[in-house]
Amino acid sequence: MKNIAVIGGGAAGFFAAISVKTHYSNYNVVVFEKSSKFLSKVKISGGGRCNVTNSTNDVRILCDAYPRGGKKLKNIFHQFGTQDTRDWFEKRGVLLKVEPDGRVFPVSNNSQSVIDCLVNEFEIHNILIKFLKSVKSLSKVKSKWIINFNDSSYSNSFDSVIIASGGNSKLKGFDWLKNIGHKIINPIPSLFTFNMPNESIISLSGIALKNVRIKILDTKIELTGPILITHWGMSGPVILKASSIGARDLFEKDYSFELQINWLIDSNTQVLYKKLENYSILFSNKLLSKQNPFNLPGRLWLFLLVKFNLDKDKKWGELGKKNMRNFIEFLTKDFYSVTGKTTFKEEFVTCGGISLENINIKTMESKIVNDLYFAGEVLDIDGITGGYNFQSAWTTGFIAGKLGE
């Protein structure tokens, strides 16, 4: 009989512990959590609904959703992928549903369904969890692992240790792993919204559009997707995806950059101009404020008219060709200054962590020292929003729990 320690009581830690007991029912497993709570992100993710995974079964597409670690994950998604996740939870009574954008949620629309399922597995397998256990150091004496905690109130030796301690926004938080020889990629935020305190568009808080094209100047980031205007700036899937893909670039810019928005998606200005010209003839006696040719939200349309210095009481027939051409140019290249970021609540993810150079990705075992495994966000793996970060937690946790099998 062997003793196994799992450090971290989040999604990856829970799944790793369950995986150990699934593969080695006679092993003793103890989970150590530094806080007084467990599965905190599971509880609040997806607005309290828990975006369990994504519906895509195409491993290539799945890997593309991870700006860091995607290529490496290809090898292990074949071992435990999105369909495996869905099957695992549904076999344990958590019915799931797929939303139009591919996100997978419990039919109950309540993250507690997922939490109850995982806790029930802990009870079935007699897995212990100990709270307020912050790791001070980790060392190997002969063939046993010794974990020293900050409170020094627990002492035991373990045959194997699985690290699932989550992301950490401070490099110092990885010192205990660095001290045993692991390379740490500087941790920085990913999945955040854009602050625009000096832009008047924040007065339109609450307006959402299903599709816009954004571009972050002086980067290669150009994306299309839904956007949400907030009281602090901009959010929504397209902004979060941009923040994930550009996490390193935006960090280097100290989160101060220019955002270009194409409100019309189409970039063929000549086609758009002809549409506007025909529209101005058809509605020549109508006011600009009353007739919206591009079906933009009313408040946004009025805002854009004012920003472009067009009189909202001007008639379409009075606009003129030059104004029309310039207006199209403006609507397809509207600029906003971003000066900061805001954590996207439950979807906050850390970019960085244990370098994958130090990991045997097929087993999640450290290449530096034997019988030490890693799972979840502690690794330099992070995905865009849409259930991908939980999927990497389930996958890496499941494989780490096999203990090299």
For residue 328, give both structure tokens.
Answer: 């199209």
Of these ranges, 114-123, 172-181, 315-324, the one predicted with the greatest mean pLDDT is 114-123
Pair 223, 239: CB distance under 8 Å? no
Tell me which residue has tokens 């029930």: 120
Measured between alpha carbons, how far is residue 148 from residues 50, 123, 373 in Å?
33, 26, 18
Query: What is the reported pLDDT for 342?
Result: 86
Q: Flag whether pLDDT at 307 surpasses 90.
A: yes
Query: What is the reported pLDDT for 346?
Result: 47
Q: In the predicted model, what is the mean pLDDT of residues 114-137?
A: 96
Mention every residue, 6+ apart, whose C-beta is less than 8 A from residue 130: 30, 31, 32, 33, 154
Look at residue 131 and give its three-state secondary structure: coil
For residue 38, give both structure tokens.
Answer: 């467990």
Q: Where are the domains positioned within the chain? A: 3-188+351-400, 192-343
Least confident of 70-84, 153-167, 190-204, 244-258: 153-167
Q: Flag whether pLDDT at 319 surpasses 80.
A: yes
Q: Flag whether pLDDT at 188 surpasses 80.
A: yes
Q: 344: pLDDT confidence band, cut at 50, 70 and 90?
A: low
Beta strands 349-354 and 359-360 are unpaired
Alpha helix locations (H) across 65-111? 70-77, 82-91
159-194 in b/e burial notation, b at 16+ Cβ within 10 A? bbbbbbbbbbeeeebbebbeeeebebbebbbbbbbb
Query: What is the reported pLDDT for 348?
Result: 66
Q: Flag whether pLDDT at 94 surpasses 60.
A: yes
Q: 154: pLDDT confidence band, cut at 50, 70 and 90?
A: low
Least confident of 8-12, 102-106, 151-155, 363-367: 151-155
Q: In the predicted model, what is the mean pLDDT of residues 229-251?
A: 95
Q: In the predicted model, what is the mean pLDDT of residues 295-302?
A: 95
The architecture of the domain spanning 3-188+351-400 is 3-Layer(bba) Sandwich (3.50)
